[in-house]
Amino acid sequence: MVRLFVRLLILVIIALGAVLLVRDDPGFVLLRYRDYSVETSLAFALVALIVLVIAVYYAVRFLRGLWRLPGAMQRQSQNRRFSKSRRQLNQGLIDLAEGRFEQAENHLMRLVDFSESPLVHYLAAARAAQLQGKHDARDSYLKAAHEANPGAELAIGVTQAELQLAHQQTEQALATLTHLHSVAPRHDYVTMLLARAYLELEDWQALVKILPDVRRKKLLKESRLREMEIAGYCGVLKRATSDQQSFDKTWSKVPKVLRSDAMMMRFYIDTMARQRWHNSNAEQLLLKSLDNKWDDGLIEAYGRFEARDANAQLARVEKWIDDFGHNESLLLALGRISMRARLWGKAQGYLEASIGAKATPAACLALAELFERQLQQPDKAAEYYQQGLKLSIEASA
């Protein structure tokens, strides 16, 4: 409106200027064509010319507007659809966040063809379908997302892997993540998801290979990362039990900080005990670990570890009686070591003290076996077998 007013003001000023210019000598203008002629003053001719130019200008603009009218109406209609699509997207995301998954899917897909960002619609709809258990629909949405925006391969792939992992399609998720890792090897989230897939598939070699990268980038909390590291290296050790040399070689490759971890050490000692292997270095490491920090599980595992000299092992463990004399795990370990040293009376005393401190199925079983095999007291053995069975049932209930 202001621009129109300025233009009219300029036009009036020009017209007045033209009139003032020819006031003293109005002159005349003659237009002649064949037998027709028009004669007028110069001032009127100038004003008429200006009016004609303006009329032609607005006529051209009007005709151009008519020419562009269909396109303008189409754009206006498209903009209205874009606006509606944005509202549907917003509502769909709200429904998804609030747990109304069916409504979310409907809102997200209603005007997806008119959306400025169809990728967001399809990815959110895939999540909504997954949460309804509609896995075929989920895959269709992911495929449509790739067709709508092939350049967003990483975003689509990460979403697909997350949904596959949530649906326990771990092998498919691993295939997806392996491809993404080859495309973007430094992508932190892909690396973290890949470690999770290896863990769920128990691919221990691959897991321990990728975990140093996870640790270096601090992609997981320390507690969760330590759990994965222990699981990974325990899995690798478990597959190396064909002979002691292979087992010891694998153990030497475990990071030093993990080798001093109580859970890791417990697994190592338990494996050595089951295989009846001996390793003086491992035994010294365990004893050092217990000297630094007491761990019930570790001392209980050491009780099953068959040292080369059972009497020397018993003497070492008895040093802790003054500090942990009423600990059921320590007393159980002492009872087992005494049995290997063939000290039946001492073994009975330690095992009964362990049960007195806290009755456990393991202590009852050990004492029952002692009564049955060495002390020839079947009634006592049956009593402790029964007590151990009852404790096991209660523990599993």
- Residue 177's CB is within 10 A of a number of other CB atoms, namely 27
**Per DSSP, which regions of the chain are E strands?**
29-33, 36-40
CA-based nearest residue to 251, from 298, 304, 208? 208
pLDDT in tens, 66-116: 666 565 555 565 556 667 878 888 888 898 889 899 998 888 888 787 777
Q: Average pLDDT of the chain? A: 84
Query: Taking residues 183-201, what's their average pLDDT?
Result: 93
Percentage of the chain exceeding pLDDT 70:
87
Local confidence band at 300 (pLDDT 50, 70, 90 cut-offs): confident
Q: What pLDDT shows up at residue 33?
A: 73
Q: Is the pLDDT of residue 350 over 80?
A: yes
* 139-177 tens-digit pLDDT: 999 999 998 888 888 999 999 999 999 889 999 999 999
For 24-80, how does the pLDDT look when each residue is reduced to its tens digit (9 = 90+)? 666 666 777 777 777 776 666 666 777 777 777 777 776 776 666 565 555 565 556
The pLDDT, as a whole number, for residue 54 is 74
Kindly indicate the confidence band of residue 266, based on its pLDDT and cuts at 50, 70 and 90.
confident
Nearest to 267 by CA among 215, 294, 305: 305
18: which residues sit within 8 A by CB, 6+ positions away? 43, 46, 47, 50
Contact 391, 359 (CB under 8 A): yes
Cα–Cα distance for residue pair 43/23, rounded to 1 Å: 8
Is the entire prediction scored with pTM above 0.85?
no
Return the closest-CA partner of residue 390 out of 364, 354, 355, 351.
364
DSSP 241: -
The helix-helix angle for 204-217 and 222-238 (nearest 10°) equals: 160
**Angle between helix 204-217 and helix 188-201 axes, rounded to 10 deg:** 150
8 A C-beta contact, residue 89 and residue 109: no
Q: In 3D, which of 390, 391, 395, 350 has the Cα closest to residue 370?
A: 350
Q: Cβ(337)–Cβ(364) under 8 Å?
A: no
